[in-house]
Amino acid sequence: MKRLVSFLIFVASIFLLLFSTYKSSLISNDKAVYKYCGEELIVDYVNPTSNAYRAGLHIADKIVSVNGIEIYSRHVLHNMVFDRTNPFDTLVYVVEREDELITLTMASERRFSLSELIQFLIFGIAYSLLTMIFYNVFPKSKTHRYLYLFFVSLSLLMTLFNVPFSHRILYPTMMVVSTVMTVSLLYFTQHYLFEFSVKWPRLLFLLFTLISFAFWISTYWRWTYSMTEGDYSSLITSLRFFQLSLASAAIYSIVSIFIKVLRLYVTKQPKEYFIVTFLMLLILILYPLLYALPFALRQKELIPFSVYFYMFLILLFLTVLYRKRLSRVFL
């Protein structure tokens, strides 16, 4: 029964990975970079190999409209144009250049190259496969189940974070998976990796995560129907609040795991335990410091989100590799 359940989850994960990769391949772009000048969206860079460059889009052009949609911010361009048109569709730009309105026609291009999407897909499948092996080779326990759920969430996020921001099904699915990942990490940390005498820290972080998710989902659904600048501003605020809750949970887990490691340091535990645990600590430290907290504080993320997944893939591989030595202390 255990093997059947893990296999069915593996099949469902692969289906979702394939579907989200397909949807990600349909997002268009113009390969231009924009900046704000007051309340105007101005072209800051045009890729010389792009269709936009060949169509005559220039640096310092003010974007007035695309396909008849008034462009008053970068999010309108990406979420009302690029997320809703397919690569190679015709885009009609109206730009203002030296007080003159100019119409430009070009074919849209892919936001993600096929090689990028295939890379994410391969890593996602590898994640799912290793996660299934992990579930089947370790003894059954609650700790084991929560860590398995955490790895399943990571395998799905590997590809889901490329899905269109305006997709009303896939993007909320990604946020649900992120919430499940955080909740499973909290339960893994609180109850089984380090034995707290009270439950309130876990409940506090759990409540923070769930409230921030509810705040985000409510603002997201409102924005997808209104598509107004005000609702988008509220959406971004709720997204940063949600990232802050995830970062806080990661910091809590860092402290808890470190206490557990200190307790076991003086005992004769297998060296593989310390290798895997310190790697997990390093990854959990990198996430809030270099990605989630900078994003929540309206700063540029210091590492790509994908780096977080690649490092956890290494952790999962080492956990499976050292399963015999780890089962008595890690789980």
CATH number for 47:
2.30.42.10
pLDDT band at residue 189 using 50, 70 and 90 as cut-offs = confident
Average pLDDT across the chain, whole number = 84
10 and 33 part of one domain: no
Predicted confidence band of residue 179 (pLDDT cuts 50, 70, 90): very high
E-only strand ranges, the chain: 28-29, 32-37, 40-46, 62-66, 69-70, 90-97, 100-107, 109-110
Q: Are the beta carbons of 44 and 63 closer than 8 angstroms?
A: no
Over pLDDT 70: what percentage of the chain?
92
Q: What letters, b where the CB count within 10 A reaches 16 and e where it falls short, cover 244-256?
A: bbbbbbbbbbbeb
Q: What is the pLDDT of residues 206-246, one digit of tens each?
A: 999 999 999 999 999 888 888 777 788 888 889 888 988 98
3-state DSSP call for residue 69?
A: strand
CB of 216 within 8 A of CB of 238? yes
Residue 331 belongs to some domain of the structure: no
Neighbours of 35 (CB within 10 A): 11
Tokens of 327: 């089962």
pLDDT at 243: 87
- 290 and 145 within one domain: yes
Residue 79's nearest CA partner among 221, 235, 224 is 224
Residues 272 and 143 in one domain: yes
| Mean pLDDT to the nearest integer, 236-257 | 86
* Predicted local distance difference test score (pLDDT) of residue 62: 92
Using alpha carbons only, give the angle 205, 206, 207 rounded to the nearest 5 degrees: 90
Domain end residue (candidates: 88, 110, 132)? 110
pLDDT in tens, 21-76: 898 888 888 888 888 877 788 988 998 999 999 999 999 899 998 988 888 777 78
- Greater confidence, 28 or 308? 28
Whether 53 and 152 share a structural domain: no
In the predicted model, is pLDDT for residue 197 greater than 60? no
In terms of domains, do 254 and 322 share one? yes
Which has the closest alpha carbon to 322: 269, 268, 257, 260? 269
Task: Give me the mean pLDDT over the 146-153 stretch.
Answer: 89
Residues 98, 229, single domain; the answer is no
Number of helices (H), then strands (E), belonging to the chain: the values are 12, 8
Residue span of the structural domain in which 91 resides: 28-110
Instruction: Please say whether the beta carbons of 292 and 243 come within 8 A.
Output: yes
Q: How much is the pTM?
A: 0.81
Whole-number pLDDT of residue 180? 92
Using the 3D structure, point to which of 72, 95, 110 is the last residue of a domain.
110
Over residues 104-131, the mean pLDDT reads: 89
CA dist., res. 79 & res. 67, Å (int): 13
DSSP, collapsed to helix, strand or coil, labels residue 65 as strand
Amino acid 41: pLDDT = 87
Whether residues 79 and 131 fall in one domain? no
Do both 57 and 174 map to the same domain? no
